[in-house]
Structure 1
Amino acid sequence: MAEPCDRPVRVLVIEDDTELGPLLARGLGVEGYEAHWIEDGLTALIAAQETDYGVAILDVMLPGMSGFELCRRLREASPALFILMLTARDDVSDRVRGLDAGADDYLIKPFAFNELAARLRALRRRESLALSPRIEVGELIIDSHDHQVRAGGKVVPLSPKEFALLRFLAQNADETQPRERILLEIWGTLQHADSNIVDQYISYLRRKLDPLPTGVSLRTERGVGFQLARDL
């Protein structure tokens, strides 16, 4: 989703709802994006081939081509494209199917536009962080080259899963990440969805980080998920 700093990020909005589609495009314009609205999958695929978009926001239910198929074809054509899928069903299988098709994130309807805008800002921050293997949050320094975490000048010994979990939360610092998303990102599956594996690893990280001057805290939002928050 990289763009020159003087050019707004182009967003392709694929939504057949003739009220929601233009509304999203206008809102994104206010946020500083260059947004184009298209109503069907086939037209959207052609547009994506002709214009260099940084983001695609697409509904699962589309005329002409399903959102899942469109997502798959967009991903094949543009590996760097950020794809956010919209679904009206709070169904884990739909979300897993979308992520398997190549989506980077999903949002369940109805949603507040502020949440959509926040998701896009978070993903742009993650992309920026991905350009560098070094992430700094508070006093934590996370180095992906040597898989080391340092705090207060000391190396924090972490297992590979602990490191991956902490890096993911650091890439999304100050934003709560749902358990399901953590499971998909770190474990690549939802088979542990009914277990407390995420809670266990958060507990492991707390034991190692809490005694150190990290400048951050691992916080739990009950019933939702976890975040790595900068201490105020």
Structure 2
Amino acid sequence: MTNDRNIRILLVDDEPHILQFLEMGLVEEGYTIKTAPDGMTAVNMAVKFQPHVVVLDIMMPGMDGFETCRLLKKRGTDMAVIMLTAKDEIEDRVKGLKLGADDYLIKPFSFEELLARIEARLRNQFPSLFGEVALGPFRMDDRRREILYRDRVLELSPTEYDLLKYLIINHGIVLSKSKILDVVWGYDFGGEENIVEVYVRSLREKLNDKDHRLIRTLRGAGYRIDLP
């Protein structure tokens, strides 16, 4: 990733060593970075900085990440918010999504995974920064809601498009059924997790992926696309 697009990321955490570590890594990747040690500072800073992505810790003294997320989204709904939580609890995840969070990571996490999440949110929410995105054998044009596989246009339903796009932009990352449901169907979806299997099966047919070498199933964990 280069800085020619001036992609801005705001890091919010009350632990200085985490802020320093993430800032160093993301600056090295070419992003423009600002840091905030608490929620109120982040909200005020965001007005002028106008970040594309906010990486936001939940557990902070004073104003916690949930309230910070609510205020950030109230002032700028276009920004993507990735919440960091030390607890893998459904209640925290649902609460964050209801307040407008776009993604979440559970501590401890690798820098590579955070970087992949950031790039996924940018491609998903700011496609104009990229135009047509080429990843491996896929080409995605979000403006046309069109995905080409080996230069062949795939005939996809709206949900199939959203699901395949989510798998592609998160390539190399294992995505659980519950995570896929949260993002593609929405946190308030009342159906069964098996709906994900149905749509993955349909995508495999359209991709001629009979051996499941493109969309891989990791038993008990979820799905993953590996791209060259």
- Which TM-score band (shorter chain)? 0.7 to 0.9
Question: Secondary structure of the equivalent of 1:207?
Answer: helix
Task: Give the gaps of 5 or more residues in structure 2.
Answer: none
Q: Contact 2:3 / 2:30 at 8 angstroms: preserved in 1?
A: no
2:162 paired with 1:168: no
Alignment of 1:195-206 (within 5 A): 195-206=193-204
Number of residue pairs matched by the alignment = 225
Query: What SS does the aligned partner of 1:19 have?
Result: helix
| Cα separation, partners in 2 of 1:124 and 1:211, compared to 1, 3 Å | closer
Mapped contact 2:11–2:19 kept (Cα < 8 A): yes
1:91 CA drift (Å): 0.7
- 1-side partners of 2:49 and 2:144: how far apart? 38
The sequence identity of aligned pairs, in percent, is 38
Question: Once structures 1 and 2 are overlaid, which stretch shifts more, 40-49 or 132-141?
Answer: 132-141
Q: Tell me what 2:38 maps to.
A: 40
Offset at residue 15 of structure 1 (A): 0.7
> Which residue of 105, 117, 120 maps to 1:119?
117
TM-score by length of 1: 0.78
- Asked if 1:225 is matched to 2:225, the reply is no
Letter of the 1:14 partner, please give it: V
Question: Is 1:15–1:59's contact at 8 Å kept on the other side of the alignment?
Answer: yes
Q: Is the 8 A contact 1:174 1:229 kept in 2?
A: yes
Kindly indicate whether the alpha-carbon contact (under 8 Å) linking 1:83 and 1:104 is maintained by their aligned counterparts in 2: yes
How far has the Cα of 1:52 moved from its partner?
A: 2.5
Cα 1:194/1:143, change in 2 over 3 Å: same
- Distance (Å, rounded) in 1 between the aligned partners of 2:58 and 2:109: 15
Residues 83-232 of structure 1 mapped to structure 2, 5 A cutoff: 83-127=81-125, 129=127, 157-189=155-187, 195-210=193-208, 217-230=214-227
Cα distance in 1 between the residues matched to 2:199 and 2:182: 15
Q: Which residue of 2 aligns with 1:21?
A: 19
- In 1, the alpha carbon distance for the partners of 2:193 and 2:137 equals 32
**CA distance change for structure 1 residues 217 and 42 in 2, over 3 Å: closer, same or farther?**
same
Partner of 1:53: 51
Q: Is the 2:52–2:80 Cα contact (8 Å) retained in structure 1?
A: yes
Are the equivalent residues in 2 in contact too, given 1:135–1:171 (CA < 8 A)?
no
Q: Which secondary structure state, in structure 2, belongs to the residue aligned with residue 80 of structure 1? A: coil
- 1:81: how far off? 1.3
5 Å-filtered alignment, 1:54-69, equals 54-69=52-67
Q: What is the CA-CA distance between 1:71 and the residue it aligns to?
A: 0.5
CA distance in 2 between counterparts of 1:219 and 1:9 reads: 32
Q: 1: CA distance between counterparts of 2:67 and 2:24? A: 26
In terms of mean alpha carbon deviation, does 197-206 or 151-160 score higher? 151-160
1:74 corresponds in structure 2 to 72
Q: Is the 8 A contact 2:178 2:193 kept in 1?
A: no
Which blocks of at least 5 consecutive residues in structure 1 are unaligned?
none
**RMSD (Å) for aligned C-alpha atoms:** 3.3
Query: What's the CA shift for 1:178?
Result: 2.6
The 3 A distance-change label for structure 1 pair 124 and 189 is closer
